[in-house]
């Protein structure tokens, strides 16, 4: 159930960002296209796209794929290369483009969103970008595999 709740929260966040990107566009009977620039895999994005369009039939997502190293040049084009939303796990790209004045402020109330996890900022203080997801990483140790390779068992993890 936790993953369903997390997925639902993620979709609501994505919807808010997509709607923010489309503010000022005329409403009509034909679904509006929201262009999303991302590097995430099609298998993952396709599920998000289907769920978003089901929840918001007035929009259609058009996915544009670029790796983070290619996204900056794409977004620096006039009209951001046609992208309405940039969805990536590349904090450096977001920060660099904010420094270059590429972004406009998000018209999203962020007062209830966390600003940091530990010392890591989840967006910029000026409100031009914010995290919509956070990935956790961990390590697992197999004492038997270590012993088979003659590696001493770990006693601590220095910071």
Please check whether residue 130 is in contact with residue 123, taking contact to mean a CB–CB distance below 8 angstroms: yes
On whether residue 60 sits in a domain, the answer given is yes
The domain of 81 spans: 2-148
State pLDDT tens for residues 73-96.
899 888 888 999 999 888 888 888
Tally of structural domains, the chain: 1
On whether residue 77 sits in a domain, the answer given is yes
Q: What is the token pair recorded at 110?
A: 């962020």
On whether residue 154 sits in a domain, the answer given is no
3-class SS shares of the chain: helix, strand, coil, % to 5: 40, 15, 45
**What is the bridge-based pairing of β-strands 32-38 and 59-65?**
parallel
The confidence band for 27, taking pLDDT boundaries of 50, 70 and 90, is low
Residues 79-109 as b/e (b if ≥16 CB within 10 A, e otherwise) read: ebbebbbbbeebbebbeebbeeebbeebeee
- Residue 66 sits in a domain of what CATH number? 3.40.190
Enter the DSSP assignment of 152.
P
On whether residue 156 sits in a domain, the answer given is no
Using the structure block, give the residue that is written with the tokens 């005329």. Answer: 26
On whether residue 15 sits in a domain, the answer given is yes
On whether residue 135 sits in a domain, the answer given is yes
State pLDDT tens for residues 40-64.
999 989 999 999 999 999 999 999 9
State pLDDT tens for residues 135-146.
776 777 888 998
Beta strands in the chain (DSSP E): 32-38, 59-65, 85-87, 116-117, 120-121
pTM (whole model) above 0.75: no
On whether residue 45 sits in a domain, the answer given is yes
The rounded distance, in Å, linking the Cα atoms of 131 and 118 is: 14
């Amino acid at each position: 159930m936790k993953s369903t709740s997390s997925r639902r929260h993620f979709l609501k966040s994505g919807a808010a960002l997509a709607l923010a990107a489309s503010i000022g566009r005329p409403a009509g009977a034909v679904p509006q296209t929201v262009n999303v620039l991302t590097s995430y895999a099609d298998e993952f994005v396709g599920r998000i796209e289907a769920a978003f369009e089901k929840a918001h039939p007035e929009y259609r997502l058009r996915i544009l794929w670029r790796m983070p190293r290619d996204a900056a040049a794409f977004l620096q084009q006039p009209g951001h290369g046609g992208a309405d939303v940039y969805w990536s796990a590349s904090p450096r790209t977001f920060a660099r483009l904010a420094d270059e004045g590429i972004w406009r402020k998000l018209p999203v109330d962020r007062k209830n969103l966390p600003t940091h996890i530990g010392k890591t900022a989840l967006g910029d203080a000026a409100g031009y970008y914010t995290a919509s997801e956070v990935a956790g990483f961990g390590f697992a140790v197999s004492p038997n595999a270590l012993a088979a390779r003659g590696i001493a068992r770990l006693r601590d993890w220095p910071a």
